[in-house]
Amino acid sequence: MREAESRTEERDDGGQPLLTEIARARTKVAEVYQERCTKAVQRYLDAAKAAAEPLREESVRSASPLDVWRDASAYWLDFTQRSVLYWDTLRQRGNNWVEHEKAGKPPLLDFAWDMVADARTFERPVNYALVRIVPPDGIKTDPERRPFVIIDPRAGHGPGIGGFKQDSQVGVALKAGHPVYFVIFFPDPMPGQTLADVSRAEAEFLRIVGERHPKTRKPVLFGNCQGGWASMLVGAVEPDLVGPIVINGAPMSYWAGNDGENPMRYAGGILGGLWPALLASDLGAGKFDGANLVENFEYLNPANTYFDKYYTLFSKIDTEPERFLEFERWWGGFFLMNRQEIKWIVENLFVGNNLAAGDAEWSEGRAFDLRSIKSPIILFASLGDNITPPQQAFNWVADLYPTTEALKANGQVIVGLMHESVGHLGIFVSGSVAKREYTHIVDLIEYIEHQPPGLYRMQVEEHQADGKVRYDVTLTEMRVEDLQVLQKYSRKDEMPFEAVEKTSEALASAYETFVHPFVAPMVTPAAAGLVRAFNPQRVQRWAVSDLNPFLWPLKGMADMAKANRAPRNDDGPMVAMERWAAAMTSASWDLYRDLRDAAVENTFFRTYGPAGIGLAAQGGEAVAEEPADVRNALLVKEALSHIEEGDRTKALVRAALLLMKAGTGRRRLSAMKRTRELVGQDIGLLDMPIEAAREIIREQSYIVDFEPVKALMALPKLLRTPEERRRLLDLLDHVEGRIEANEKQVTLLGEIRRLLAEEETGDKTGGKAKAEPITVTLVERQADGRPVAAAKSAKHGATRRSGDTRRTRASS
């Protein structure tokens, strides 16, 4: 893959270069497979060595026969009691599942709520509803503060994960005083509902929330996992209804990933694309069982699925059951989708990757265009597991905006946040994440809307002073081109996925023509319900519950075990043997997973790699679209035509942006707060509608980015009276010394003072000469950050993808 980078040229030799490229790719695939298998075995051997270390300890090896007998007696009593309590906990899990099913699978929110709007009654009904979260005792919300709307994932499970605990997205927003609304959904879809209908309903929810809070800014939209891309769809369909969008662990670029790290991206190709989802829907009488999606998640980590989580429960049976049962209530709630919904998801996202390409249609001839979103976007991803790898969370940005200048020209603000250790689900359910990351995301939202367009990295920094922990947030400006560091092969390993898409289309067409007409009429809703009841995901719950008469004595035995509990010590030979056996079992599952994933990956690239290279070669022969000069973009061109026009507010914003440009590219939330306290009211942005404020910031950012020297020299012309110039000078005096500034910013402050003073005294003869040092400084800063020079170069222009431009990109 890495070797297959040279483009196939015009062929006079019967396609020999193409065959050579395919041969090189096959060789690389074989090398990667061998390397992965070797590493998998080595990891297993290392795990086995580490597991055996406690058995070599002196206290274990030197134990006398009498000590071993005593230890074994205490251990087996504890083991028996733990076994009874373990199975009783699984019984409770089964009972909870049965009760939840009987209750209609209500949302598992840890907060009371009131129904606001039921989309089942809409003109185009869907199984969604909007609820208002009732603040707990002791917490007050202000109806005039900006509301938060949270959309949970409908990816097999039910709603509630965003408010699963008091320390959660819901809890953080409530504690900050914001009204909170939650988008829930019901187990069964409405007949004929589509994803487009769902997006329209969610847009209507936002309209309702806006009407309930007319004095506030537009609602903040939180989207978790599948709810993340659903939030983006709403923002694309109705951009005027949405405030800042926060998407957490949301896959947006489905082909992205790295070999050896992200096995789920190969599932579509190995299964043949769309047709298995169609078959599963037909066998479900037109409904797709969410338990199938849950099985996909569990497939990724069989060690945890089949052993680790159960052993953790068994080994910590005195403390773990409450957490285990709480999470399993959500994990075991399986919801359904319509055939049309799962077809759209698999066809456009999992297999087609059409959302970032702008090819995902929501109605005939109308596609979701994520460039239509004008609100700031915060992306929160994690490195803890491979359910939603960072590449899938972030690469859509590079798909939409080939360069930083293209992103800025569209007026977009995107902030990326990466958690180094938490897993995918931990983003939503971890109390520590809620207290740290979400608390500061909520805090940052009030400031992020006043940031100039660009891509930023958000970091939560921890500082300790006087025995207390204090947090601060930094925003560091980045370039879209920096996202390439997430990829090993510059995305050339995505070429085979285009062959998967073609294969999927052909197989799905054949299925719809030859199989669907015969299978669908044969399956009745009753038969489909029976099949779903015997899905292994459900059987493992209801079979170990009070529905099973053989388990009726278990509760009494568990009560007896609790009353006579004799927990073991955490040392001794028997405990060491148990932990060794557990570690070896987990390591064996990991070895199986690693070898399985390596084989799947190897099969995928051997199957689709040659066809992908062939498709890329065909795309390479096409005439590539000429990149556009971003300076000619409508918004940029319009802004540059007003360099010497404006008022006091625009002058203040321009001065602030010039100072930011001369800075390090890092902005601290604490500094933003201090600046707002010092001069926020003087600038005037806080008193105007956010749309008008953002328009001023966007216009002035274009001027400062593309013509910084002219922007500086024209600054006095925006201040028409001596009084306005004096007010700006007083403002600069008020700020200087109270906010950290580097040497370039101090120099620039002095230059702005001289320019304004010269304009006021009428001395304009030395202005250019005196401005020359700062002119050089600005140009040097541009060379570091490359905005102006890059903007003038066609190679940094924005390429709009049309037709088969995905193939052109992949092959260039």
- Tokens for 65? 């026969």
What's the CA gap between 27 and 52, in Å, rounded? 38
User: Which residue matches tokens 């409508």?
Assistant: 634
| pLDDT given for residue 51 in this prediction | 93
pLDDT at 437: 87
User: In a 3-state reduction of DSSP, which class is residue 332?
Assistant: coil
Q: Do residues 758 and 588 lie in contact, with contact meaning Cβ atoms separated by under 8 Å?
A: no
DSSP 592-637: HHHHHHHHHHHHHHHHHHHHHHHHHHHHHHSPPPPPBPGGGSHHHH
C-alpha–C-alpha distance, residues 393 and 445, integer Å: 20
Contact 655, 752 (CB under 8 A): yes
Nearest to 52 by CA among 579, 572, 586, 588: 579
Indicate the residue type of 254: Y
Going by C-beta distance under 8 Å and a sequence separation of 6 or more, which residues neighbour residue 165? Answer: 110, 171, 429, 431, 434
CB 672 within 8 A of CB 440: no
What pLDDT digit, counting tens, does each position of 253-301 carry? Answer: 888 888 878 888 999 999 999 999 999 999 999 999 999 999 988 999 9
Q: What is the DSSP letter of 161?
A: G
Q: How many CB atoms lie within 10 A of CB 365?
A: 5
Name the residue among 343, 348, 191 with its Cα closest to residue 275.
Answer: 343
The count of residues in the chain is 812
Cα 717–chain centre separation: 44
Per-residue DSSP letter, 421? S
Cβ proximity of 115 and 131 under 8 Å: yes
Q: What is the spatial distance between Cα 58 and Cα 67, in angstroms, rounded to a whole number?
A: 14
d(CA 345, CA 277): 10
Task: Classify 246 as helix, strand or coil.
Answer: strand
What SS3 state is found at 151? strand
d(CA 516, CA 279): 8
What are phi and psi for residue 144, nearest 5 degrees? -95, 5
Q: What's the CATH fold of domain 113-253+364-488?
A: Rossmann fold (3.40.50)
d(C-alpha 517, C-alpha 442), whole Å: 51
Can you give the pTM of this predicted structure?
Answer: 0.88
Look at residue 778 in the predicted model and tell me its pLDDT.
Answer: 57
Residue with tokens 């004095």: 215
SS3 380: strand
DSSP readout, 722-771? HHHHHHHHHHHHHHBTTB---HHHHHHHHHHHHHHHHHHHT--SSHHHHH
First-residue to last-residue Cα distance in the chain: 14
Cα torsion angle, 226, 232, 233, 234, sign:
positive
**In the block, residue with structure tokens 């328009």:** 695
pLDDT of residue 763: 56
Neighbours of 13 (CB within 10 A): 8
Task: Say which amino acid occupies 605.
Answer: F
Q: How far apart are CA 430 and CA 137, in angstroms?
A: 23
pLDDT of residue 789: 36
pLDDT single digits (tens) 294-350: 998 899 999 999 999 999 999 999 999 999 999 999 999 999 999 999 999 999 999
pLDDT of residue 737: 67
Buried b (16+ CB within 10 A) or exposed e, 175-208: bbebbbbbbbbbeebbeebbbbbbbbbbbbbbeb
Query: What is the Cα–Cα distance from 410 to 13, expressed in whole angstroms?
Result: 45
* 413-419 vs 377-382, strand pairing mode: parallel
CA–CA separation, 13 vs 798, rounded Å? 36
Give the pair of three-digit tokens for residue 161.
Answer: 């994960």
State residue 703's pLDDT score.
Answer: 92
Euclidean distance between CA atoms 694 and 239, whole angstroms: 14
Residues of the chain with CATH 3.40.50.1820: 113-253+364-488
Residue 230 buriedness (CB in 10 A; 0-12 / 13-18 / 19+): buried
Three-class SS state of 403: coil
User: For the chain, which ranges sit under pLDDT 50?
Assistant: 1-14, 621-625, 765-771, 773, 776, 780-812
* Residues contacting residue 426 through CB under 8 Å, at least 6 positions apart: 382, 384, 419, 433
Distance CA 658, CA 346 (A): 46
Q: Reduced to 3 states, what is the DSSP secondary structure of residue 96?
A: helix
**Residue of 395, 543, 698, 483 lying closest to 97 (CA atoms):** 543
Query: Residues of 426-453 as b/e, b for ≥16 C-beta within 10 angstroms?
Result: bbbbbeebbbbbbbbbbbbbbbbbbbbb
